């Protein structure tokens, strides 16, 4: 069943009807469309940035977050099929990279393929998790692990009990989504994959990112950037310069 209001899912920070390519962007755990709000300024004018707004955050904070990746991508396929009147690419970071791959896999089953998929900050789904599962931990331990391992909770949220109570269900749902996704069978895409990572991120080391090579029948390359797991925020300009070079001639 198609979502009734697909625009809830897609937020373009800067509308660009003249663009000849749409870049759909998927966030990391706990993240929202605001991650990508500055991207249109630094990407070529032929690219329209379309951030995906997942339930349970920002403008959809009152909605229940989705904790099952397969259900989420089934909904997203129906949404995106209504917005594919021009070529498109997909970018996902960390949790978003798993969503991006599964979304591209399901679109391929509909004979629709992106021109590129950018999979950032996470190895392929057939690689075991670097850290023990977190999603079933009691709240205090869950928060501590997320803070110490991923630095995933902003300090302003940690210091505000009400914000923390609002934010916690989404974070737990996101970690459940990531840690319960089982897709051990490799289903290659028909489009090029760029695997991206931070040089100081043990989860997305070069050796781990190589695992995505088997997930495409097309070209594959790895690009590493200065920074840790959140290099896309720490070193946004370098990432977007690389993506600009890739997307500008399409």
Tell me whether residue 94 is one of the annotated catalytic residues.
yes
Joined together, the tokens standing for residue 138 give 């009691």
Sheet arrangement for strand 21-26: 10-11, 47-52, 21-26, 88-93, 116-120, 193-198, 220-225
Phi/psi region, residue 22 (left: phi>0; alpha: psi -120 to 50; beta: rest), is beta
Answer whether 54's CB lies under 8 Å from 93's CB: no
Q: Which of 94, 97, 205, 211 is catalytic?
A: 94
Beta bridge partners, 88, equal 22
Answer whether 234's CB lies under 8 Å from 228's CB: yes
Joined together, the tokens standing for residue 230 give 């959140």
- Secondary structure element (H or E) that encloses residue 196, with its range: strand 193-198
Three-class secondary structure of residue 48 per DSSP: strand
Task: Count other C-beta atoms under 10 Å from residue 4's C-beta.
Answer: 6
Of 91, 63, 80, 104, the closest CA to residue 188 belongs to 104
Using CA atoms, how far apart are residues 152 and 172, in angstroms rounded to an integer? 12
Among all residues, which ones are annotated catalytic? 94
């Amino acid at each position: 069943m198609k979502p009734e209001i697909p625009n809830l899912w897609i937020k373009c920070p800067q509308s660009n009807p003249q663009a000849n390519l749409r870049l759909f962007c998927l966030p990391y755990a706990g993240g929202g469309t605001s991650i990508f709000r500055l991207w249109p300024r630094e990407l070529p004018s032929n690219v329209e940035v379309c951030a995906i707004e997942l339930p349970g955050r920002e403008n959809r904070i009152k909605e229940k977050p989705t904790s099952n990746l397969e259900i989420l991508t089934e909904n997203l396929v129906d949404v995106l099929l209504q917005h594919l009147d021009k070529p498109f690419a997909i970018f996902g970071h960390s949790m978003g990279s798993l969503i991006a791959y599964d979304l591209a896999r399901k679109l391929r089953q509909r004979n629709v393929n992106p021109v590129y998929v950018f999979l950032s900050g996470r190895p392929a789904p057939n690689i075991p998790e670097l850290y023990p599962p977190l999603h079933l931990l009691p709240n205090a331990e869950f928060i501590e692990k997320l803070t110490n391992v991923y630095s995933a909770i902003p300090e302003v949220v940690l210091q505000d009990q009400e914000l923390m109570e609002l934010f916690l269900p989404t974070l737990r749902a996101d970690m459940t989504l990531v840690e319960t996704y089982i897709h051990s069978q490799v289903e290659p895409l028909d489009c090029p994959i760029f695997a991206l990572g931070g040089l100081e991120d043990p989860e997305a080391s070069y050796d781990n990112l190589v695992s995505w090579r088997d997930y495409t029948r097309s070209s594959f390359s790895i690009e590493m950037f200065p920074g840790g797991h959140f290099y896309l925020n720490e070193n946004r300009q370098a990432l977007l310069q690389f993506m600009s070079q890739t997307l500008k001639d399409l």
